[in-house]
């Protein structure tokens, strides 16, 4: 069976040749990152890089390698005005005449690198009509203004999951042809589920409403929900969201009281917003305890948020517990 390539899909579903070039550049760069990962210790990419990023998190060697690869690929495109990355303190200018801003997490789940588990690259594309020097303010757009979003998942097979706001599609990398080929053209998240992902070791630190909600799931069919749930946790948002896009479910990374001044763990601009656009385009929901994440007006590029995403009915119920 002949399958559409990523280039075929982009040509059919967007009129912007610049956007097509941008997505293909990210896809091509992901193959280089895949090669870095495939060699593991043989490529000397395991372990810490010996520095911290702007969030105070220890950088892994491959965090830095992946960031540099993506930054170089995007900087080579005249259509890219500027970039923002988890691994960069500030926004990085590219071309003043560019029409796109790109935010990305170069290697989500990098704590999994040293144990040969799943990681991924998350990206978001925004538009800009600004002139003159690049500013952080240009990036501070609500998630609904994203032009495109997606991720590359480095697992047993390498996959690219994409939305250009016309639904969600999945591509699988074919090593023989060197192409990403379309393998799912209509991703859908069921409104109900029997599976959830959360780090249960933090349970005692959550708000009472989240503790109540998860406790009811754990009570199973003997409890008020009347059915049993499976629990999963990969410690990489990209992998947990991928599972939800493939077979449904719920993912939560809630606020906790250890750092009450910090809204959440995940970053709004290059984690929650791109994943949120994918989830909503697939029929799911993404919220904080206060409402939809894609409606949040960002205040700064590394802003954090609590996240509840996945099956629409479960997300709505969880949010209703917080609001009541």
**Residue 207 phi, psi dihedral angles, 5° rounding:** -65, 150
What pLDDT sits at residue 160?
A: 98
User: For residue range 244-297, what is the model confidence (pLDDT) as tens digits?
Assistant: 999 999 999 999 988 878 888 999 999 999 999 999 999 999 999 999 999 999
Was 271 annotated as part of a binding site? Answer: yes
Was 71 annotated as part of a binding site? Answer: no
Was 280 annotated as part of a binding site? Answer: no
What pLDDT sits at residue 324?
A: 83
Q: How confident is the model at residue 57 (pLDDT cuts 50, 70, 90)?
A: low
Was 105 annotated as part of a binding site? Answer: yes
| Percentage of the residues of the chain whose pLDDT score is greater than 70 | 95
User: Exposure string (b/e) for 34-56, b if CB count within 10 Å is 16 or more?
Assistant: eebbeeeeeeebbeebeeebeee
What pLDDT sits at residue 297?
A: 98
What pLDDT sits at residue 291?
A: 94
Was 57 annotated as part of a binding site? Answer: no
Gap between the Cα atoms of 91 and 49, Å rounded: 21
What pLDDT sits at residue 52?
A: 56
Q: Which residue has the tokens 């994203």?
A: 146
Full set of structural domains in the chain with CATH:
6-184 (3.30.540.10), 195-323 (3.40.190.80)
What pLDDT sits at residue 198?
A: 97
What pLDDT sits at residue 115?
A: 82
Three-state secondary structure string covering the chain:
CCCCEHHHHHHHHCCCHHHHHHHHHHHHHHHHHHHHHHHHHHHCCCCEEEEECCCCCEEEHHHHHHHHHHHHHHHCCCCEEEEEECCCCCCEECCCCCCEEEEEEEEECHHHHHHCCCEEEEEEEEECCCCCCCCHHHHCCCHHHCCEEEEEEECCCEEEEEECCCCCEEEEEECCCCEEEEEECCCCCCCCCCEEECCHHHHHHECHHHHHHHHHHHHHHHCCCCCCCEEECCCCHHHHHHHHHHHCCEEEECCECCCCCCCCCEEHHHHHHHHHHHHHHCCCEEEECCEEHHHCCCCCCCCEECEEEECHHHHHHHHHHHHC
Tokens of 230: 């499976």
* Residue 49 confidence (pLDDT) above 60: no
Whether residue 102 contacts residue 45, with contact meaning beta carbons closer than 8 Å, is answered with no
pLDDT, average across residues 315-322: 97
Was 18 annotated as part of a binding site? Answer: no
Was 218 annotated as part of a binding site? Answer: no
Query: Among candidates 273, 253, 264, which has minimal Cα distance to 318?
Result: 253
pLDDT, average across residues 44-68: 71
Least confident interval from 24-28, 52-56, 243-247: 52-56
Was 53 annotated as part of a binding site? Answer: no
Was 256 annotated as part of a binding site? Answer: no
Tokens of 137: 């303010």
Q: How confident is the model at residue 117 (pLDDT cuts 50, 70, 90)?
A: confident
What pLDDT sits at residue 66?
A: 93
User: For residue range 167-220, what is the model confidence (pLDDT) as tens digits?
Assistant: 999 999 999 999 999 999 999 999 999 999 999 999 999 999 999 999 999 999
Q: How confident is the model at residue 39 (pLDDT cuts 50, 70, 90)?
A: confident
pLDDT, average across residues 103-114: 89
Was 184 annotated as part of a binding site? Answer: no
What pLDDT sits at residue 56?
A: 58
Gap between the Cα atoms of 294 and 241, Å rounded: 16
What pLDDT sits at residue 54?
A: 62
């Amino acid at each position: 069976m002949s399958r559409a390539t990523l280039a075929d899909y982009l040509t059919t579903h967007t009129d912007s040749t610049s956007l097509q070039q941008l997505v293909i550049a990210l896809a091509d760069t992901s193959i280089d990152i895949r090669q870095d990962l495939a060699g593991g210790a043989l490529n000397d990419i395991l372990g810490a890089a010996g520095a911290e990023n702007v969030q105070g998190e220890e950088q892994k060697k491959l965090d830095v390698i992946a960031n540099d690869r993506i930054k170089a690929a995007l900087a080579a495109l005249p259509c890219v005005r500027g970039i923002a990355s988890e691994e960069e303190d500030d926004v990085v200018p590219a071309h003043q005449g560019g029409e796109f801003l790109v935010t990305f997490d170069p290697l989500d789940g990098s704590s999994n690198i040293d144990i040969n588990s799943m990681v991924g690259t998350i990206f978001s594309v925004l538009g800009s009509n600004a002139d003159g020097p690049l500013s952080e303010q240009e990036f501070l757009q609500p998630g609904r203004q994203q032009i495109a979003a997606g991720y590359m998942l480095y697992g047993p097979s390498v996959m690219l999951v994409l939305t250009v706001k016309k639904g969600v599609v999945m591509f699988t990398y074919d090593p023989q042809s060197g192409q990403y080929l379309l393998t799912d053209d209509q991703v859908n998240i069921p409104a109900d589920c029997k599976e959830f992902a959360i780090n249960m070791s933090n349970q005692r630190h959550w708000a009472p409403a989240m503790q109540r909600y998860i406790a009811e799931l754990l009570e199973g069919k003997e409890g008020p929900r009347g059915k049993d749930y499976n629990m999963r946790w990969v410690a990489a948002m990209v992998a947990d969201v991928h599972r939800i896009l493939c077979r449904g479910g719920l993912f939560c990374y809630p606020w906790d009281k250890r750092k009450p001044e910090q809204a959440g763990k995940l970053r709004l601009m290059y984690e929650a917003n791109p994943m949120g656009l994918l989830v909503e385009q697939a029929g799911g929901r993404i919220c904080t305890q206060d409402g939809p994440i894609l409606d949040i007006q960002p205040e700064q590029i590394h802003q954090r948020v609590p996240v509840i995403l996945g099956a629409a009915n479960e997300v709505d119920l969880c949010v209703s517990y917080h609001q009541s």
